[in-house]
Structure 1
Amino acid sequence: MMFKMPIVDLMKEGDKLAESGKRVSVLWQEPESLVFLARGREYRSEFHINPSDEMMYMVKGQMNLHYRTPEGKEEIAVLSQGSVIYTPSGIPHSPRFPPDAYLLVQERKRKPEEIDRFQWFCPSCDAFLHEESCHVADYKADPVSKAYQRFFDSEEFRTCKSCGTVMPKP
């Protein structure tokens, strides 16, 4: 077996990603390491709870990383181009950046017993709306898009039990 140490031109990979229309390009996925380049979404509202630590590097553009404190308060960390941020496992976070921006993410590949969670909160009163969960065996399957589809396809999931607001589809 030949030993490989991949070298990736992040700007070229980002341009290929944009041309393809896809959101994620997995650069490598090994038992102890997962690295992917993500392109922003026009709309993002969920908070991802990752069972592994994450390092995010803003390759191009700017990102507002929404996150929830242990007390449940929503905060925003602004990550400018060329900046890096560490997000510990278990912190609900929502990377929000435009489709022409690129983010490099490094985390650990999931262990068989680990579950990723995606949570939504009411845009009017901030009450909890819904949670999707899944085991992410292969990040190439784009679990965020699948969780989004399940959530937005259900008006029941998008309806706040506290104030009655229905989160609109993007």
Structure 2
Amino acid sequence: MESQAATMSSIPDPIGLSSWLALNSESLKPPVNAMYLYSGKDFILMAVGGPNTRNDYHINETEANHFSYQVSYDFPGITLCLYPLSIFHLSSPIYLVANTPHSPRRSKDTIGLVMERTRPPQMIDRVRWYCGNTEAHGGVPTIIREESFYCEDIETQLKEVIDNWMEDENSRRCGSCGVISPAH
């Protein structure tokens, strides 16, 4: 039987969010602006900073919780766009069910927290881009591109997928109407 002292020594120190942000906020860089605060067996907690200019929609097979932590004075939180297009200005927590296409867009000097489940190996993340020329498609959402991958490290893998989109103009061309979507 483990002693209480041994059990207590295995408990990690609490995360002081203000001091963590003071040390790490410069690392919250575009296009994803995310950094792990905690990555455990069951869930991950990320800090996400603004500004960012993402136009992708992230789809993960696990639930996610988005919280606004620090908002700028000229903007009441982050904007979370869901597809079909719904826009939420987050000044309070929002829960996303699994497989919800979402595009978190943050203004300058904002910080959010995102808590997601650690991905089991069989769960695949997707990143999707839609054609902005909705008139040409009769208002029907038209997917230009979708990337699927097992997400072990969102800090590096999501950035790589988005950077590839931004650098490859041909991958941003709608196969139906020919319009090239902006990089971000």
Q: Which residue of 1 aligns with 2:150?
A: 135
Residue type of the alignment partner of 1:78: H
Secondary structure of 1:42's counterpart equals coil
Q: Deviations 1:35-82 (Å, cap 9, x if unpaired)?
A: 1111124311011101110111100111111002xxxx21111112xx
Contact 1:24 1:39 in 2 (8 A): yes
Q: Which residue of 2 aligns with 1:16?
A: 23
Once the 2 structures are TM-superposed, how far is the Cα of residue 109 of structure 1 from its aligned partner? 0.3
Look up the match of 1:44. 54
TM-score normalized by structure 2? 0.80
Structure 2 Cα separation of the partners of residues 8 and 33 of structure 1 = 15
CA distance in 2, matches of 1:122, 1:30: 37
Which consecutive aligned stretches of 4+ in structure 1 deviate over 3 angstroms post-superposition? none
Letter in 1 for 2:78: M
Q: 1:55 aligns to what? A: 65
Listed as ranges, the gaps of 5+ residues in structure 2 are 1-5, 72-76, 135-140
The AA in structure 1 aligned to 2:14 is I
Quote the Cα distance in structure 2 between the aligned partners of 1:142 and 1:100. 22
Q: Deviations over 1:115-167 (max 9, x none)?
A: 1000001122242110112111233x432211101212222210112222111
Structure with the higher strand share, 1 or 2:
1
Q: Could you say which structure has the larger radius of gyration?
A: 2
User: CA–CA distance in 2 between the matches of 1:123 and 1:150?
Assistant: 19
Structure 1: state its 5+ residue gaps.
Answer: none
Aligned-pair distance for 1:21? Answer: 4.9
CA-atom RMSD in angstroms? 1.8
The alpha-carbon deviation at position 114 of structure 1 amounts to 1.1
Q: 2: distance between equivalents of 1:21 and 1:30? A: 20
Q: Structure 1 residues 127, 55: closer, same or farther in 2, change over 3 A?
A: same
- 1:149 aligns with 163
Matches of 2:146 and 2:130, distance apart in 1? 9
Correspondence for 2:74 = none
Partners of 1:16 and 1:131 in 2: how far apart?
35
TM superposition shift of 1:5: 3.9
- 1:30 aligned onto 2:53: no
Distance in 1 (CA, whole Å) between partners of 2:46 and 2:28 is 15
**Equivalent residue for 1:102?**
111
